[in-house]
């Protein structure tokens, strides 16, 4: 409920400045404590539901819903392997 209100406030502020939130590019990455579920997390913009994701790339970092850096480390190792492989 609070998150939905924050999203509404954010969207309204953008609208006042003549901007529009791209709903197709806007995702939800819920980093919750273990006892919480994301199944009841339904956030919308203009009555359009936002997609829930488990991983999200932001400024070169891979964020995870599990609050770990395992996927980010794997992603960086894969990128380094590809870069070094291209040097040969």
Task: Note the pLDDT tens digit of each residue in 10-57.
Answer: 999 999 999 999 999 999 988 876 656 666 789 999 999 999 998 888
47 vs 64: which has the higher pLDDT: 47
- pTM for this one? 0.65
23, 39 contact by CB (below 8 A): no
Count CB-CB contacts under 10 A for residue 63.
19
What's the pLDDT at 39? 65
Q: Whole-angstrom Cα distance, residue 11 to residue 15? A: 6
Question: Residue 51: phi, psi to the nearest 5?
Answer: -70, 135
What's the pLDDT at 44? 95
What's the pLDDT at 38? 61
What's the pLDDT at 8? 96
């Amino acid at each position: 409920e609070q998150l939905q209100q924050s999203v509404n406030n954010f969207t309204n502020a953008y609208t006042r400045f003549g901007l529009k939130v791209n709903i197709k590019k806007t995702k939800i990455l819920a980093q919750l404590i273990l006892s919480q579920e994301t199944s009841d997390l339904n956030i919308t913009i203009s009555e359009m539901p936002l997609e829930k994701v488990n991983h999200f790339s932001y400024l070169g970092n891979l964020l995870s819903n599990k609050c770990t850096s395992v996927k980010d480390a794997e992603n960086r190792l894969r990128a380094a392997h590809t870069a070094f492989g291209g040097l040969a």
